[in-house]
Amino acid sequence: MAKHLTDIDIHNIVSLLDGWDSDYKLTWDNLCELALKKHKISSTRQTIQKPIRIKTAFKERKEALKSGEDKPKIPPSLSIAAKRIDKLANENSRLERENDGLLAQFVVWQYNAYANGMTIEQLNRAMPAKPAK
């Protein structure tokens, strides 16, 4: 049985997708191999593609690679910096989309709380302490 992915595993895999080199074909199997090599995440394709964050990031990166963005030739000395900038730009746009989704969800929750008569005090009440083991 394949191991379950933690939030850190999901973050690491999405980070791999953000920085995916266009010289390599993006497939689920290649992603699994790279996750094992870079982050020691040993998992199956089926397990890796279950989390919605990974599935969405994979789909968006695949579409970006298919769109054939022509990148200018750069000297090798700038190659590493250009890859880093590209990775950060991809990560930034993905995080903005995730944030927009969370903000939309918050608006729904806000409306439902208002419609059901919840007060600000009820919403801001601290969570109960975890029982000691």
- pLDDT of 22 over the 90 cut: no
Question: Could you tell me if 36 and 77 are in contact, meaning their C-beta atoms sit under 8 angstroms apart?
Answer: no
Smallest CA-to-CA distance from 97 within 70, 57, 129 is with 57
Which of residues 76 and 47 earns the better pLDDT score?
47
**What proportion of the chain, given as a percentage, has pLDDT over 90?**
56
| Chain CA centroid to CA 41, Å | 15
Helix, strand and coil in the chain, % to nearest 5: 65, 0, 35
pLDDT at 66: 86
* pLDDT one-digit tens code per residue, 60-114: 999 888 886 645 566 777 888 888 899 999 999 999 999 999 999 999 999 999 9
Domain borders along the chain are 7-117
pLDDT at 82: 84
